[in-house]
Structure 1
Amino acid sequence: MVLGSGLGGWGDELSGLVKVPYAEIPGMPRPAVEGHAGFLCAGRVGDVPVACLQGRAHLYEGHPPAKAVFGVRMLARLGCRAVLLTNAAGGINPGFGAGDLMLLTDHLNLMGTNPLVGPNDDALGKRFPDMTYAHDPRLLDLARAAASDAGVPLREGVYAGLLGPTYETPAEIRMLRTLGADAVGMSTVPEIIALRHMGVPAAAISCITNLAAGLTQRELDHKEV
């Protein structure tokens, strides 16, 4: 799992927990954003072995795209058979409210870059990966079933990934609504692309922490995120 802004505490709940600081992992970029602790957590949920990243590196911090996905590539190389990504996002869909969970059914890559730009590493995947099922259908069904069993309402929608670090303007939010986006954030898309490239099933869930710019009269603040 990748635990996004404000969600890292779940990693500390693993049984048999072992934590490794990112600083002790060669090549691992260290996040510098509040809410991203920077630890690899390994343990179990019941009988299932689980590895979690408490925080991620973002492109807006200046990391090259290929470097920003080092963490999820590492998880895949460690033997993870599926990866669940989480993030904090701004709600665009007028039916969403703060605190809602949204299962990503697709995404828009509006970051202006891609982690696969440059020479292709054939050991990781092919040059031109298909993105039709980048959000793995089987994992989406499992997420729906788990939410239903737990009695947790689960929204679904399209996530727009933008570079940041500025929040979007009201005009940009209107554009994103026209393009079909239901939520917006500054992460996740590069990781989904990298995992698809490697053939690792992936899914993502956004926690809607605020309504996007122009949908309320309030200015946006990272403390909400």
Structure 2
Amino acid sequence: MLKEIVLKKFNLIPKTLIILGSGINEFVNNLTDSTNISYNELFNFKTDESIGHKGTLHLGYINKKPLLIMEGRKHYYEDVSNKDMRFMIQSFASIGVKNIIITNACGAMNESFKPGDIMVINDHINMMGLNPLVGDNNNALGPRFVDMSEPYDIEFREMIFEVAKENNILLRQGVYVSYIGPSYETKAEIRAFRMLGGDVVGMSTVPEVIIARHASMRVLGLSLITNMSTGITKNKLSHEEVLEIGKQSVNKLSKLIINFLERI
């Protein structure tokens, strides 16, 4: 069904899929000649709309480039199975999507970062205690054992820094730590993650990257820093703050992504 819908819209399979993190939904306003379909209709999946994840696949163009955009994603804290976590990304890979831009909202552990900054992910640490590839392997997409020495495409990272420099946008880089949630991290956990080399922490992205790399998709990871982590800030953490900072920073992130798309 996915392939038929995409081909009906574009008469081809777009090379690139974008996943929008919390508060970054307004990026879809950059699309022209667009249409959308709910995950429930397309994949028989629902997402928790109360946390800003609408569960909608958008199909459209940016500067005449056909794109697929996921507005909302699945999280392990929603009590999904590994099979369900794999399903959407593997569906796109199986129809021929080659590139994936994964965005997220996150908390900063690196004290040189601040809310509103954007970080290019150059590596990650999986602290979820889960791996979405556990279970039956899809041999048609990739091998049982997946190399993760460079999960985030080096050339893509170089390109996005060139774009940032040309547009005078400050761009950080660092290590993303994935945490299962839905509770925020304790001060002791943040201290431990910092000792391990983490710069930011969030509750998504890493499962999607693992699935994408299994299918040999090229990955660009962008983290929008929406708050400082527990113990770094004295403020109580809230999802409302995450959504608000995301909305304030979406134009800067959009500019980066749109200019990056012209290069791939």
Q: TM-score, normalised by structure 2?
A: 0.82
Pick aligned residue for 2:200 from 175, 183, 190 = 183
Asked if the contact 1:39–1:54 (Cα under 8 Å) also holds between the matched residues in 2, the reply is yes
Alpha-carbon distance, 1:154 to partner:
0.6
Matched ranges for 1:127-142 at <5 A: 127-142=144-159
Matched ranges for 1:44-123 at <5 A: 44-123=61-140
Gap change, CA 1:131 and 1:29, over 3 Å in 2? farther
Matched ranges for 1:7-18 at <5 A: 7-18=24-35
Give the secondary-structure state (helix, strand or coil) at the position aligned to 1:171. Answer: helix
Asked if the contact 2:86–2:133 (Cα under 8 Å) also holds between the matched residues in 1, the reply is no
CA distance in structure 1 between the aligned counterparts of 2:227 and 2:149, rounded to whole angstroms: 29
Q: Which runs of 5+ in 1 are unaligned?
A: none
Asked if the contact 2:94–2:141 (Cα under 8 Å) also holds between the matched residues in 1, the reply is no
- Number of residue pairs matched? 225
- Considering fraction of residues, name the structure with more helix: 2
Alpha-carbon distance, 1:66 to partner:
2.9
Pick aligned residue for 1:155 from 153, 156, 172 = 172
Alpha-carbon distance, 1:121 to partner:
1.5
Give the secondary-structure state (helix, strand or coil) at the position aligned to 1:69. Answer: helix
CA distance in structure 2 between the aligned counterparts of 1:30 and 1:221, rounded to whole angstroms: 19
What fraction of aligned residue pairs are identical, expressed as a percent?
Answer: 40
Alpha-carbon distance, 1:115 to partner:
0.6
Q: Deviations over 1:45-103 (max 9, x none)?
A: 11211110001011001111231232322332343221000000000001000000000
Asked if the contact 1:28–1:71 (Cα under 8 Å) also holds between the matched residues in 2, the reply is no
Gap change, CA 1:119 and 1:72, over 3 Å in 2? closer
CA distance in structure 1 between the aligned counterparts of 2:228 and 2:130, rounded to whole angstroms: 26
Q: Deviations over 1:94-143 (max 9, x none)?
A: 10000000000000011001010012110121000100111111111121
Alpha-carbon distance, 1:33 to partner:
4.4
Alpha-carbon distance, 1:203 to partner:
1.4
CA distance in structure 2 between the aligned counterparts of 1:21 and 1:167, rounded to whole angstroms: 29
Gap change, CA 1:65 and 1:33, over 3 Å in 2? farther
Alpha-carbon distance, 1:38 to partner:
1.1
Query: Are 2:230 and 1:213 aligned?
Result: yes
Gap change, CA 1:154 and 1:209, over 3 Å in 2? same
Give the secondary-structure state (helix, strand or coil) at the position aligned to 1:218. Answer: coil
Asked if the contact 1:56–1:71 (Cα under 8 Å) also holds between the matched residues in 2, the reply is no
Q: TM-score, normalised by structure 1?
A: 0.96
Asked if the contact 1:91–1:97 (Cα under 8 Å) also holds between the matched residues in 2, the reply is yes
Asked if the contact 2:103–2:223 (Cα under 8 Å) also holds between the matched residues in 1, the reply is yes
Asked if the contact 1:102–1:206 (Cα under 8 Å) also holds between the matched residues in 2, the reply is yes
Alpha-carbon distance, 1:27 to partner:
4.0
Alpha-carbon distance, 1:29 to partner:
4.6
